[in-house]
Amino acid sequence: MKFEITIEGPPQAIEKISHLLARESFDPVNLSASHSCPAIFKSITLKETDPELLNRKLARIGSLITIVEQQTGLRDQLQIRVRNLGYAEPSCTSEDGPEPFKPVSSLTIHPWTPSYGGDFAPHTIILDPRHAFGTGKHPTTRLCLQILEGMAHGKSTRDTFPSWSVLDFGCGSGLLAMAAIRLGAKKALGVEIDGAAAETAKRNVQHNGLSESVRIRTGSWEQAAGLYDLILANLVPAVLFRTGFNIPSHLKRNGIAVVSGFGESLLQEMAVFFGKAGLAILQRFSLENWGALLMAHPFQNIP
């Protein structure tokens, strides 16, 4: 399996990070103009083939970014993203391809094909399987879907869930945003910093006939203006540690947040981090050695 780590930001900051990475033997390091805005930003690309080392490498990179931000005063202008380059789905150029599956009991994910007829079944989500930005099979995605399903059907939330506004931060394919709508939420916004992933998410929304209830924007927290009843963030630990402190300020007074994307061994560390950020930890979840947290706005009346 091969992962691509990209760090993007102003040239002076990227050059400093490049020197720090080289000193710590992060190799190879590719320094180039940013694809998203080549005239203003530069980017660094690193590769990692060992999934066990990925989170440790990301954590160290996050620490180095923090150091450079403090030195340059460029807070929140550096972004990091991770892409799985080793992932591949069967070709969907014909009727052959991956089969529909149920990540949770009330939702079915159906792979899109060029000949798909556009059957917008109430509990079916159509995903283009040719792009590896979130297919619903990873344990962290399934954890988020299980928690979503529980809120849609739970005694304490099922009556209000249909009025909820949802933010899927780092939305990838847009799956969680669309799942929230399929389960009954009113509207959802997906925000994704990776331009290619955001375009895939927009196409998936169109495939599902959900353009009126799901919007996709390219960017980070600056694209998530407003307050939300529910925030979902299924992201690698380094990104959660760097950006997770923004969650409380984007939650409504009675809002709920779900975070995942980290190993079960990091549950306590994540709980401490988000507790310090101002969120109340309601419940911890684990599945196949991966973890998730269900949290509440600090001013919510918690039973």
Q: CATH number of the domain at 168, please.
A: 3.40.50.150
The C-alpha atoms of residue 255 and residue 246 are separated, in whole angstroms, by: 14
Q: Which of 40-44, 164-168, 219-223, 261-265 has the highest mean pLDDT?
A: 164-168
Q: Does residue 68 share a domain with residue 188?
A: no
Q: Would you say 124 and 207 are in contact if contact means Cβ atoms under 8 Å apart?
A: no
Q: Which of 46, 66, 84 is the last residue of a domain?
A: 84
Helix 175-182 and helix 195-207, axial crossing angle in degrees, nearest 10: 30
Q: Which of 46, 68, 84 is the last residue of a domain?
A: 84
Q: Does residue 284 share a domain with residue 170?
A: yes
pLDDT score of 90: 41
pLDDT at 117 over 90: no
Q: Does residue 281 share a domain with residue 157?
A: yes
State how many domains the chain has. 2
Q: Does residue 18 share a domain with residue 153?
A: no
The position carrying tokens 């001013």 is: 299
Q: Which domain holds residue 288?
A: 133-296
pLDDT score of 4: 83
Outline where the chain has alpha helix (H): 11-23, 51-72, 139-153, 175-182, 195-207, 237-243, 267-276
Q: Does residue 137 share a domain with residue 80?
A: no
- DSSP-assigned beta bridge partners for residue 191: 169, 217
Collapsed DSSP state (helix, strand, coil) of residue 58: helix
Q: Would you say 120 and 135 are in contact if contact means Cβ atoms under 8 Å apart?
A: no
Q: Does residue 289 share a domain with residue 157?
A: yes
pLDDT score of 112: 81
Mean pLDDT for the stretch of residues 192-221: 93
pLDDT at 92 over 50: no
Q: Does residue 289 share a domain with residue 145?
A: yes
pLDDT score of 40: 65
* Lowest-pLDDT choice from 35-39, 57-61, 62-66, 147-151: 35-39
Q: Is residue 175 part of a domain?
A: yes
Q: Would you say 259 and 233 are in contact if contact means Cβ atoms under 8 Å apart?
A: yes
Mean of pLDDT over the chain: 85
pLDDT score of 209: 92
Q: Is residue 94 part of a domain?
A: no
Collapsed DSSP state (helix, strand, coil) of residue 196: helix
Largest CA distance in the chain: 56
Helix (H) or strand (E) holding 6: strand 3-9
pTM of this prediction exceeds 0.85: no
> What CATH code is carried by the domain that includes residue 46?
3.30.70.120
Q: Does residue 146 share a domain with residue 275?
A: yes
pLDDT at 130 over 80: no
Q: Is residue 185 part of a domain?
A: yes
Q: Is residue 265 part of a domain?
A: yes
pLDDT score of 88: 45
What is the percent of the chain with per-residue pLDDT over 70, rounded to a whole number? 84
The C-alpha atoms of residue 3 and residue 245 are separated, in whole angstroms, by: 26
Q: Does residue 139 share a domain with residue 287?
A: yes
- 153 φ/ψ angles, rounded to the nearest 5 degrees: -110, -5
Q: Is residue 7 part of a domain?
A: yes
pLDDT at 31 over 90: no
Closest CA to 301 of 247, 258, 254: 254
